[in-house]
Structure 1
Amino acid sequence: MLRSKAKWNMVQTDNPSSTMDESISLTPLTRQLLQQRGIVTQQDVQTFLHPDLNDLHDPMLMHDMNKAVERIREAIENQERILVFGDYDADGVSATAVMMETLREMGATVDYYIPNRFTEGYGPNEAAFQNAHAEGVSLIITVDTGIAANHEADVAKELGMDLIITDHHEVQEKMPDAFAIVHPKCSTDYPFQELAGVGVAFKLSHALLGDFPKHLLDLVVIGTIADLVPLKGENRVLASYGLKALSRSIRPGIQALKQVCSLNDEMTEEDIGFAIGPRLNAVGRLQDAYPAVELLLTDSDDEANQLAEYIQNLNKERQKVVSDIAKEAEAILDAQEDGLPSVIVVAKEGWNQGVLGIVASRLVNRYDRPTIVLTIDPENQTAKGSARSIDAFDLFTNCMEIRELFTHFGGHAQAAGMTLPQENVASLRQALCQKADEQLKPEDFRQVYTIDSTINIEDITLDTIEEVNQLSPFGMGNPKPLFMIDRQAPVEMRQIGSQLNHLKLKFRDGSTDLDAIGFGLGDLYEKMSPQSQLSVVGELSVNEWNGRSKPQVMMKDIRVDDWQLFDRRGNRKLQQTLESVQNQDALAVFFEPITEQDEWVTEQFDFIELLDEEMFEDMPEDHVDHLLIMDMPKDLSHLGEVVRKMKPNNIHACYRTDDTAFLKALPNRDHFKWFYGMLLKRKQFHLENEGPKLAQHKGWSMDSIEFISHVFFELEFVKIDNGLLTLNPNPSKKDLTESTLYQNKYEQLNVEQTLYFSSYQQLKTWFDEQLDRAAYAKEEVANGL
């Protein structure tokens, strides 16, 4: 048995209101996937499957849009100096590029400013506004930031500068006193409120230019996908057309980025999410974000190539910094004696604050806890960092309820950034843990995979994958469909990758072979018996190699619903093999006295010795995850009793034998009969002198001759004196089975044949029978029988 890492939820479609009109012509799979996304009407299906630029809303419906457009046009006409104030992430960088290109196209005198994450922090700040005023700026336009800049808005007003805020982040209690605020969530008349920062900037560009700015779609898609806004409504349209625009973009910066990322011409949302977005983000995480903006704006191929290579190197550096900090944070958490708290708050001096959001995400994925990662500034006695959460815990709402602990705070339900006095870190941890303890149940501390459908191996074809991809682009609000392969035994299972940290399975159904790849799932290899029936959750994808395309599954999670048998019989590297079971609920069982060779077992695992009947009677009923059977019992019923009482999820057959009854030619009844007849004729027989000749003559082993002799002696058929056998003149009439020696030897044969020389399936069947008997007995007790 193997528990899944995540909680698996099958999508329910029993709601009558989510039933699609039967007149809509779709394949059953597409119909099911759309229904599960609440897309059931003819109009909704058409809009979803065929995004159209005509479905975008009029930008003038947005709050203060008309006021902002008039002020910007006035500034351009009067040749006022305009400053675009952006943010340092991929959304802010692309939004800055959109606004810069728009204003330059309109002939504005414009420059841009992005604060340094390390020296200035997130969002507008007074010093930057003071400098802008000193340089003659009279109008500041924020993109992807500003909705929490109450003080800075007052500073701008005092200095005589107009401030236009365009943002998409959560609106806080007090709104800045700005000239205009262009924000979908402040706009009651605007139909869609989930635009990214670049999406809001794009709307302002549309309003300023009058004509729809198709030439900016390759920029708007970057921030829209990288910032993880829901890919529905307007975002789906912008992402869909933006990916096409990005695929054919002739911007030198885009071309150079695609080259360093080794991307194909046809771009996907995954190319942005895993290649372009992280590289643009890496710049602002380690230094000023200006190179990222310049890369998107440059007209020079040479400059673009140089900037792209520079950004590529920064991204490699960023990856190492993230890895180093994550390892340090994990070491701190693993060393805690009291276990993991409900909310992880980990802080240390010297951590690079630019990557703490990524580190927090890693810790959430590993520990399934809301996580805050902070870097300590000892000079200012402050803690600054980022937070990521789990689905069940609204980070923004809970942090806002303890807003007094923070100097600065902003974000949304699943992610946030913050600054607070160092002395408040412990209070923050305590307060959030208390809230989580009050709100969350144990099952909430597991990642949730929402599964769209079970699927048969034979149905995973290139045509099926093409059909599923009709629903792309995938992302927040429209996740890539997850499918479950239910209870299938792989024909091949191996670890792959330089560090063996990935897993590859091969399933077979008739003539159909299917590969399944699990990145980061290599640790499960030792936890699954090769013959176990697995259930797998994953995404469908296409593996293209040497010009050939074939379907595959990208595994997210695996579970085994039944108990597992790990066949380790005769394994001479047992200690190394059992390392994967350490620190788990495991019990080692010995039926023979423990020897020095077994000391490593007793040092690493709980263990019991069952050497006599009394010990079996005193053995309590319990339940263990892993039962390690270290040697074979003298009687199969003894092992059956252990299995029935322990009810293990996993059984490890770890025993071996060097002196086997099974491999020896044990005598049968005819052998006994012939030997007794020989004694009747000869009256006596000397084991040591005559035994070897008899063995050679009959083709028997000396062990067999000695065994027959001692059974006859036990039954009082013969007497043995210094190796000389003589018949008992008045023997009692007894059957061979009355001999304890005979019984033990043939029981040993039965034990070895059942436990050691059986096939895997035969051994599994025997253990199944023992566990079935335990289940039946439990059912009898439950029913009062």
Structure 2
Amino acid sequence: MLQSKANWKYTSLHEAAVNWEDDSIELSPIVKQLLQQRGITNIEEARQFLSPDIKNLHSPVKIDSIERAAARVHKAIDDDEKILIYGDYDADGVSSTTVLMKALEELGADCDFYIPNRFTEGYGPNEAAFRAAAKNGFALIITVDTGIASVHEAQVASELGIDLIITDHHEPQEELPECFAIIHPKCSEAYPFQELAGVGVAFKFAQSLLGYFPKHLLEFAAIGTIADLVPLVDENRVLAFYGLHALTISQNPGIKALKRVCKIEGNVTEEDVGFMIGPRINAVGRLENADLAVQLLLTDDDEVAQEMAEEIDVINNQRKKIVNDIFQEAQQIVESSATHDVIIVAKEGWNEGVLGIVASKLVRKYDRPAIVLTVKHESNTVKGSARSIPAFDFFQNGMRIRELFTHFGGHSQAAGMTFPLENLQLVQEKLDTFIREELTEADFKQEIEISAKLTVETINEELVQEIARLAPFGMKNPKPIFELNEIPADARKIGSAKNHLKLLFKQDSQTLDSIGFGMGELYEHISPNTALSLAGELGINEWNGNRKAQFLIQDMKIDEWQLFDFRGKKNRNVHIDTSDALVVATSNQSVHPDVEQITYDTDVQTLDNKQTLYIYELPTNLNQLKAIINQTKPVNIYACYHIEDSAYLSAFPSREEFIWFYALVRKRRVLDLKTELQTIMNHKGWSKDRIIFISSVFFELGFVKIEDGVIEVETNPMKKDLTDSKLYQERLNKADIEKQLYYSNYEELKTWFEGCMDYLDTPEEEVVNGL
């Protein structure tokens, strides 16, 4: 039995009735189910989802104030007023700035951009920057991906005589800034979709300014939309779908240079943006000023673009190293400190631009919410980021102690904060208390949402390609995770470090490869003929021109008890799981210093339940082993015993042989084995041990006397059967034990152990809604 690392949740189906009777679109049952889970309940919705159409984008005029803002921009252009675009330092902010800069430059505007420094200015508009803009002659400021909470800065702009247009997508606060115009879907009741990224809002404004649909800006819209993790549905799906195609065929020097340093060839996917392009753009703002990233996307010079892209790649590698160094230091702090249910680590000098990434890595490693803070002794404060587990709402619990924070904001799974260093211990105590009140131990595990159960015969290249029609995947349209429950035909560790797990499944004539990267340690937990439950994605493995569907493992569990057979292997390389285990061995054996060890003489009533039982010695009585199993209730048993002198393989003397030998002794009256042993051995073909064993049984039964190797018959022995001899019974019993536990085949041995395990529940078939 093996526990999964994550909690597996099963996606329920949408409750609305579904009509898939239209033959104009062919869908497999699996894809129909996936669409229904996404709330798609008729064929027309399915068609729009599978084939996104630009025509389904909403008109920008439905956004409040957008026409008023566009008129103001055109007036500024006509009057030669200077326009400043004020952006943010992440990938959404950089792409938003690029979109609006390109639109304004196309219109002939006198424009420039400004992105604040994360370390010296912090997030969002600030008074100093606005005053500098006024001094430099800017009459109009347009924010992108920021500004909706900048009440004070809006007042400053007004005092300076600057018109301020705010374009943003973040949550509006109770008080909105007073400015010339706010372009924000969530501030526009008439606008049908409220989940645009900052770049989506900027794209809408650019469309309004240009008076036509700016297809040439779609590639930048895709970067911010995907990198900012907004829901990839409705308009975001359309922008990402066409934007990825635009990135694939892009002639923009900056995009082409970025693709080269990322080694992206062929069709650009959402994973390319999310894991390669986006992180590189983000890295600039995390470590330096994000201006370089905007300049990369704006330049028309291929050579300059290549130099910038390579510089950004270097910065991203520096970011990776900084993250890894901080993560290693954070691990040392965690593992050398008292255990807490919420991890909080703090150290002076940690780069605040990467602390959220470090917190995410700590959450994945320890399955605990994590706060990573940099200590600022000059102000006696700490500043950093938090990441949480699904079951713990960090924002709501943080708000319960809002008075302890100087600054605090975020959402359920992520937050940012600043607070006095002296409050650190109290924050730790409060959050530990909250999480213990709310959660059970099972709640700390990460979650995997499973869309459906598949079998080997249903998985093929055609199904993988059909599921790919649901892409681009992202928030509210996750890449489907499936469950596979099968017995592998082969399992092995692969890779130069043997750290990957490869499984082969066979069903009739069909085979399926399954790979678990970095999961090589699970090989030790797989026993023969055992069904594995795997959670993972479907993919295509292409090798030497051959394409084949494969299953990419994310998690694994085994629901049945397991037997691991290491019998007779002297150099047994047994994987010892030191947690919740028990070893049965002789008193002179020492199997593992960190595992409880007993002998068959141990009082079983003193033993607790154990997950795993390692057996290094055969019992002298089967009931001894049965008692240990019933008391400790293991679900994994390792048979590790070896026999040097086998009773079972040594032929047991027959009753006729006993009769012959006794007749010889009675005839001779006295038999001296010192002189006649070899004669008997030669005559009967018996071993010395055989003769001694027969003699000893007769001696125990009182049929003979033995002294110094001389056997003398008793004159009036009591009538007894051979089975009355304890020695005879022990020999029979030992042979039977060896037959049952040592010389049986794997299935026979497993059946014997199963007969000792009355505590095992008969598994009921899992009922899963819609699966």
TM-score range, shorter chain: over 0.9
**Residue 736 of structure 1, aligned match among 703, 712, 722:** 722
In the alignment, structure 1 residue 399 sits paired with structure 2 residue 391? no
Q: What does residue 317 of structure 2 align with?
A: 316
**Cα displacement string for residues 42-97 of structure 1 (whole angstroms, at most 9, x for unaligned residues):** 33222211111111111121122122212222222222222222222221121121
Change (3 A) 1:674 1:300: farther
In the alignment, structure 1 residue 772 sits paired with structure 2 residue 748? no
Unaligned ranges ≥5, structure 2: 763-771
Q: For structure 1, which segment, 463-472 or 563-572, has the greater mean C-alpha deviation from structure 2 after superposition?
A: 563-572
TM-score between the two structures when normalised by the length of structure 2: 0.93
Distance 2:682 2:166 in 1: 103
**Residue 720 of structure 1, aligned match among 684, 691, 706:** 706
Q: What does residue 605 of structure 1 align with?
A: 595
Residue identity matched to 1:284:
G
Task: Map 1:246-261; keep pairs closer than 5 Å.
Answer: 246-261=247-262
Q: What does residue 47 of structure 2 align with?
A: 46
Unaligned ranges ≥5, structure 1: 777-785
Residue identity matched to 2:741:
L
Change (3 A) 1:393 1:146: farther
Task: Map 1:334-413; keep pairs closer than 5 Å.
Answer: 334-337=335-338, 339-341=339-341, 343-413=342-412
Task: Map 1:497-508; keep pairs closer than 5 Å.
Answer: 497-508=495-506
Taking only the aligned residue pairs, the percentage that are identical comes to 52
Q: Secondary structure of the residue that 1:772 maps to in structure 2?
A: coil
Distance 1:146 1:427 in 2: 33
Residues 719 and 726, structure 1, Cα contact 8 Å, conserved in 2: yes
Q: What does residue 330 of structure 1 align with?
A: 331
In the alignment, structure 1 residue 10 sits paired with structure 2 residue 18? no
Residues 382 and 421, structure 2, Cα contact 8 Å, conserved in 1: yes
**Cα displacement string for residues 685-726 of structure 1 (whole angstroms, at most 9, x for unaligned residues):** 433443345435544332222222211211222221111223
Q: For structure 1, which segment, 679-688 or 714-723, has the greater mean C-alpha deviation from structure 2 after superposition?
A: 679-688
Q: Secondary structure of the residue that 2:415 maps to in structure 1?
A: strand
Residues 355 and 373, structure 2, Cα contact 8 Å, conserved in 1: yes
Change (3 A) 1:405 1:43: farther
Q: Secondary structure of the residue that 2:133 maps to in structure 1?
A: helix
Q: Secondary structure of the residue that 2:619 maps to in structure 1?
A: coil
Q: What does residue 182 of structure 1 align with?
A: 183
Distance 2:355 2:126 in 1: 22
Q: Offset at 1:444? A: 3.0
Distance 2:627 2:760 in 1: 9
Distance 1:70 1:394 in 2: 43
Change (3 A) 1:112 1:689: farther
Task: Map 1:380-779; keep pairs closer than 5 Å.
Answer: 380-486=379-485, 488-570=486-568, 577-579=574-576, 581-582=577-578, 584-590=579-585, 592=586, 594-595=587-588, 597-598=589-590, 601=592, 603-611=593-601, 615-616=603-604, 619-620=605-606, 622-772=608-758
Residue identity matched to 1:700:
W
Q: For structure 1, which segment, 727-736 or 373-382, has the greater mean C-alpha deviation from structure 2 after superposition?
A: 727-736
Residue identity matched to 2:493:
Q
Q: Offset at 1:234? A: 0.5
Q: Offset at 1:497? A: 4.2
Residues 20 and 35, structure 1, Cα contact 8 Å, conserved in 2: no
Q: Secondary structure of the residue that 2:756 maps to in structure 1?
A: helix
Change (3 A) 1:394 1:67: farther
Distance 2:687 2:128 in 1: 99
Distance 2:122 2:10 in 1: 42
Q: Offset at 1:682? A: 4.4
**Cα displacement string for residues 119-162 of structure 1 (whole angstroms, at most 9, x for unaligned residues):** 22222222222322222222222211222222322222222222
Distance 2:82 2:594 in 1: 72
Q: Offset at 1:275? A: 1.6
Change (3 A) 1:161 1:755: same
Change (3 A) 1:55 1:308: same
Q: For structure 1, which segment, 634-643 or 510-519, has the greater mean C-alpha deviation from structure 2 after superposition?
A: 510-519
Distance 1:130 1:666 in 2: 103
Q: Secondary structure of the residue that 2:89 maps to in structure 1?
A: coil
Residue identity matched to 1:171:
P
Q: Offset at 1:434? A: 4.2
Distance 1:440 1:726 in 2: 79
Distance 2:433 2:471 in 1: 40
Residue identity matched to 2:117:
N
Q: For structure 1, which segment, 413-422 or 736-745, has the greater mean C-alpha deviation from structure 2 after superposition?
A: 413-422
Q: Offset at 1:16? A: 4.3
Distance 1:396 1:59 in 2: 33
Q: For structure 1, which segment, 244-253 or 456-465, has the greater mean C-alpha deviation from structure 2 after superposition?
A: 244-253
Residue identity matched to 1:535:
S
Distance 2:615 2:87 in 1: 64
Q: For structure 1, which segment, 421-430 or 202-211, has the greater mean C-alpha deviation from structure 2 after superposition?
A: 421-430
Q: Secondary structure of the residue that 2:3 maps to in structure 1?
A: coil
Q: Offset at 1:634? A: 0.5
Q: Offset at 1:319? A: 1.9
Q: Offset at 1:684? A: 4.2
**Cα displacement string for residues 611-666 of structure 1 (whole angstroms, at most 9, x for unaligned residues):** 17xx35xx157421122223221011110111122111222223333333234344
Q: Secondary structure of the residue that 1:39 maps to in structure 2?
A: coil
Residue identity matched to 2:701:
L
**Cα displacement string for residues 173-207 of structure 1 (whole angstroms, at most 9, x for unaligned residues):** 32223322212122211111111111111111111
Distance 1:82 1:207 in 2: 17
In the alignment, structure 1 residue 149 sits paired with structure 2 residue 112? no
Residue identity matched to 2:583:
A
Q: For structure 1, which segment, 319-328 or 496-505, has the greater mean C-alpha deviation from structure 2 after superposition?
A: 496-505
Change (3 A) 1:503 1:738: same
Distance 1:171 1:426 in 2: 33
Q: Offset at 1:573? A: 5.9
TM-score between the two structures when normalised by the length of structure 1: 0.91
Distance 1:664 1:544 in 2: 56
Q: What does residue 767 of structure 2 align with?
A: none
Q: Secondary structure of the residue that 2:691 maps to in structure 1?
A: helix
Distance 2:131 2:421 in 1: 29
Q: Secondary structure of the residue that 1:691 maps to in structure 2?
A: helix
Q: What does residue 781 of structure 1 align with?
A: none
Distance 1:391 1:344 in 2: 15
Q: Offset at 1:391? A: 2.7
Q: Secondary structure of the residue that 1:17 maps to in structure 2?
A: coil
Q: Secondary structure of the residue that 1:146 maps to in structure 2?
A: coil
Residues 340 and 432, structure 2, Cα contact 8 Å, conserved in 1: no
Distance 1:606 1:189 in 2: 69
Distance 1:6 1:766 in 2: 33
Distance 1:184 1:298 in 2: 30
Q: Secondary structure of the residue that 2:16 maps to in structure 1?
A: helix
Q: What does residue 129 of structure 1 align with?
A: 130
Q: Secondary structure of the residue that 1:240 maps to in structure 2?
A: helix
Q: What does residue 782 of structure 1 align with?
A: none
Residue identity matched to 1:747:
N
**Cα displacement string for residues 27-53 of structure 1 (whole angstroms, at most 9, x for unaligned residues):** 222211111211112332222111111
Q: Offset at 1:350? A: 1.6
Residues 600 and 625, structure 2, Cα contact 8 Å, conserved in 1: no
Distance 1:141 1:298 in 2: 21
Residues 169 and 411, structure 1, Cα contact 8 Å, conserved in 2: no
Residues 493 and 530, structure 1, Cα contact 8 Å, conserved in 2: no
Change (3 A) 1:573 1:484: same
Q: Secondary structure of the residue that 1:771 maps to in structure 2?
A: coil
Distance 1:726 1:192 in 2: 107
Residue identity matched to 2:580:
D
